[in-house]
Structure 1
């Protein structure tokens, strides 16, 4: 039996390991727990239908990922008894004016024919925004997509690791040995730029501010895609995350910057006017990108497989990539044509 060694324990590596071992494979995951891992800092928005990207291969990947989420989460939570923080309360995309709102509605709503899991799509006048998000600035109208959701990266990763270990997998917090034998799957994220083979990887630094809002209305809220683009997601009752900054960098420094803190804090005050805001934490994630911002998935030689370049859609695509890669390696049919993502 092939022994699969996965190098990198973020969402991609953990998902591949979980799906492989669920199919009866022997798997070891190596993870150094580097600061700046994208999974831990991600807001976990699952709403690919609102994207304006035109890359059909990318869109097929992320929409398949969103469709897979409900069944995947149910299975994982049933197996572990753990909460992944996955919710589907919809999403609202805000628009600067009525003209852009109409264009946005036309663009988003016509995708429903191919993606019924989107659910209802409707325009929300700015005076009705507070019916969905009582404390939010109601300066802008929006488009509500019922199927939009989110997942908490830290909780999902913990559940995947727990399930993986319960099925007999090994998870080692260390570098891989120099003499490591067996099949290797590299899911090293931003650190993939140091590999000797595979796609060229670059990364961006993103920062996210978590904060509390002093409010007498403890309600659950949809994901907000604000102007900028900026997102606002609920992390707990009256607690939100706002992001994100995207800065190209060669550094692996994961300490928040004062400049970006002040920028995000200013946005929080703009979108929550007349509310007392208290900082909770500031997180930094290093998001890896490959050519054309399209994830790379495939062999780079007979015994080395690479998954990288997931960028800002790692949590949307990671679970289904795990399923598809595991099935492919075990000789089973896949829903996606993985050759679409193997361009080395």
Structure 2
């Protein structure tokens, strides 16, 4: 029986465990400290196709990750409160910019049929789809876009895996200089170790005299409970110049998230940021009030110098796999990364050049 140990139960760790859970020749253990996890504190928009990022590898990875969601959701029978493919609307005020966006969507749909229906909407048509809005702009609607509750999604995958071959532990872990896994219960053995800890990969690898080229970025969002309710078909809004506007099932609204590069690993709620998020939401829906805010979520993303994720075995320690640098699109790229890592564990083979640069680009020896 092959023993696979995963550190981190966010999107990458949970998806990897899910895909490994059906292999009778593998036992999986997850350790999770559960602090500042980006997955639990993310906005949850799955709609990568209209991004103008020039990184083609990132786009292929994000496109593949988005396509996995319906398959995983169907297999695990998750409900609408976890994942809902209700579409996304991206707005542009300038008619020329809107037309460019529409043409981009049409072009990309040729290689991404999961985008579904593409429509160019007037401001009033946007408001018809999203009655909450009091200041709508024209936009492009993509029916294949979705919203996901990252916390619930990862939780459901882990519960699924626990019924098969997964054992879960809470608590902090560390590595020895030779990659030994050190826990509160002493050193633990493994055949394969997967480090899916996001921004915490850098301090975790330092005892091995490896420096991961990742930096933390703080992200905050607000959740509001509104008096009115809406159906499952209300789309996500990605407005020009404002924070994303994500109506979840029933009457939960999410506004966010921020991208704060100077806060390190700080997980404190910032009242000023909360005010900024609320002000952004109120520009879209003037009926919002501060007493509707139910919580502020804070998470820490991992970024690399080229804003691209990396994953795979350490160059000189192939029984240790890492994944980091997913940034603000972790819920989109994470599923495919988890699947690729699981495939590698099972087969020992990989061909990932279409998705990332060599992993050596993101690691260096410590001085």
The two structures have a TM-score, normalised by structure 1, of: 0.92
1:198–1:306 Cα contact (<8 Å) kept: no
Residues 339 and 236 of structure 1, relative CA distance in 2, 3 Å threshold: closer
Post-superposition Cα deviations, 1:24-72, rounded to whole Å, max 9, x if no partner, equal 31111111111x2101111211111011111111000010111111111
Shift of 1:339: 7.3
Does the alignment pair 1:297 with 2:305? Answer: no
Query: 213, 221, 230: which one pairs with 1:218?
Result: 230
Aligned equivalent of 1:188: 197
Q: State the alpha-carbon separation in 1 of the partners of residues 352 and 81 from structure 2.
A: 25
Aligned equivalent of 1:283: 297
Shift of 1:18: 1.9
Q: State the alpha-carbon separation in 1 of the partners of residues 112 and 124 from structure 2.
A: 29
Shift of 1:249: 3.4
The two structures have a TM-score, normalised by structure 2, of: 0.86
Aligned equivalent of 2:160: 163
Residues 261 and 275 of structure 1, relative CA distance in 2, 3 Å threshold: closer
Q: Which moved more, 1:109-118 or 1:322-331?
A: 322-331
Structure 2 unaligned runs (5+)? 174-180, 361-367
Q: How many residue pairs were aligned?
A: 339
2:307–2:325 Cα contact (<8 Å) kept: yes
Shift of 1:302: 2.1
Q: Which moved more, 1:119-128 or 1:219-228?
A: 219-228
Q: State the alpha-carbon separation in 1 of the partners of residues 356 and 142 from structure 2.
A: 28
DSSP 3-state at the match of 2:82: coil
Query: 89, 96, 101: which one pairs with 1:99?
Result: 96
Shift of 1:198: 5.9
2:216–2:265 Cα contact (<8 Å) kept: no
Does the alignment pair 1:39 with 2:36? Answer: no
Aligned equivalent of 2:14: 14
2:247–2:253 Cα contact (<8 Å) kept: yes
Q: State the alpha-carbon separation in 2 of the partners of residues 134 and 83 from structure 1.
A: 20
Structure showing the higher strand proportion among its residues: 2
What CA RMSD, in Å, does the superposition of the two structures yield over aligned residues?
Answer: 2.1
DSSP 3-state at the match of 1:249: coil
